[in-house]
Amino acid sequence: MWAINAPEVRSAIGAQQAGTTRKRISRTNLGAIPLPTAPRAEQERIVVAIEEAFSKLGAGEGGLRTVRQLLKRIRDAILDAAVAGRLVAQDPADTPATDLADFDTEPIDPITSRALPDGWACVRVGDCLGRIEAGKSFATLGRPAVDGEVGVIKVSAMTWGEFRPEENKAIPLDSKIDERWTIRGGDLLFSRANTSEYVGACVLVPQDHPGLILSDKSLRLVPIAGVSAEWLLLALRSRPAREQIERHATGTKESMRNVSQAKLRSIEIAVPPPEEQVRIVSEVDRQVSFIAACERAVDAGLAQSAALHRSVLKSAFEGHLVPQDPTDEPASVMLERIRDQRDAAPKANSRRSGVKA
């Protein structure tokens, strides 16, 4: 088993693969792949050494995955504290959020149902928006746009917590395009359709993308004065907003759920004074950047562990993992004896007897 999983053998198997959607290898091609074979006694020592090394690596990987889960919980806790007014100190000189618009609702924390800090308001998303802009559905060329082409963004451009411009599909050059659909720096984009887990994913676009346009499944949210796009992004990513989005999502298939503009507008969020929005966003960015650095270190550790797995197997089947013993029966002698035993054994009848066991 370990020899077949060794890097050189895996590479040889990969070179003999056939098929498009599902790869396969024939018995003949598999049987022709050279396999490093040690003396039987050394095989047993190698297996013990591999499994000891992999056990230690597995324990380390388990610890790293636990750290990743804890980091996610910390990230979620930071966001919960941010949208509930528990992350930074309030300033009584701030302009109350109720002065921003006609926010005729009780100042209740949507997470705890407790009163929000002074100057905050619990409102609907629709109260915070000047308008919602949508793109349209296009016939596409089934590949990303190249220089001189225009691409319509896919929902995956908004799925992973950051805007990914490469997630697009080119549209024919003769397509009619409204310039208002163009993706611009500072846009707050909302995915109105996706799986249950990712429907309602939203991102801020860091820079202009003249060659990209909105799709019919992406919405551009334009906040009113006094509500920053950065704050609205935090609010829509928060746990209470996510729960509402998932509850409002409709559709018969889990692979594609939809949130209408009306349901999006009805989602309740908490809004602090404008000056406090700036302070909270800045503090979230500071803390989350540290969490992100920790996550990168965890990913690097997991990648290093995967490399060590490959290194252990490579070393094992190059004869460097355990010491050799000159008293071991050579593998060539063992294999010759096995061939002799096979040649001397009675040949099995290849005809089917038709008798069921």
Q: Taking Cα atoms as reference points, which of 189, 186, 182, 193 lies closest to residue 161?
A: 189
**Rounded Cα gap, residues 246 and 254, in angstroms:** 11
Point out which residues pair with 191 in neighbouring strands: 218
Q: Which residues contact 286 (CB under 8 A, 6 or more apart)?
A: none
Longest CA span, the chain: 97
**Considering Cα of 101, then 104, then 106, then 111, what sign does the dihedral take?**
negative
Beta strands per DSSP E along the chain: 121-124, 129-134, 151-153, 168-170, 182-183, 188-191, 193-194, 202-204, 209-213, 218-223, 250-253, 256-258, 268-271
Q: Which of 30-44, 153-167, 193-207, 334-348 has the lowest mean pLDDT?
A: 334-348
pLDDT at 353 over 80: no
Average pLDDT, the chain: 91
Phi, psi of 328 (to 5 degrees): -65, 145
pLDDT at position 257: 92
Where residue 354 falls among pLDDT bands split at 50, 70, 90? Answer: low
Task: Tell me how far the alpha carbon of residue 315 is from its chain's centroid.
Answer: 33
Residue range 225-229: mean pLDDT, rounded: 94
pLDDT on residue 66 = 97
Cβ proximity of 257 and 193 under 8 Å: yes
- Count how many Cα atoms sit within 13 Å of the Cα of residue 234 in the half-sphere of its side chain: 29
Both structure tokens of 44: 């047993």
**102 has a pLDDT exceeding 70:** no
pLDDT at 106 over 70: no
Note the pLDDT tens digit of each residue in 236-293.
Answer: 999 999 999 999 999 877 778 999 999 999 999 999 999 999 999 999 999 999 999 9
Quick check: 273 and 94 in contact, CB under 8 A? yes
Tell me, what's the pLDDT at 345?
Answer: 87
Query: Residue range 137-155: average pLDDT?
Result: 94
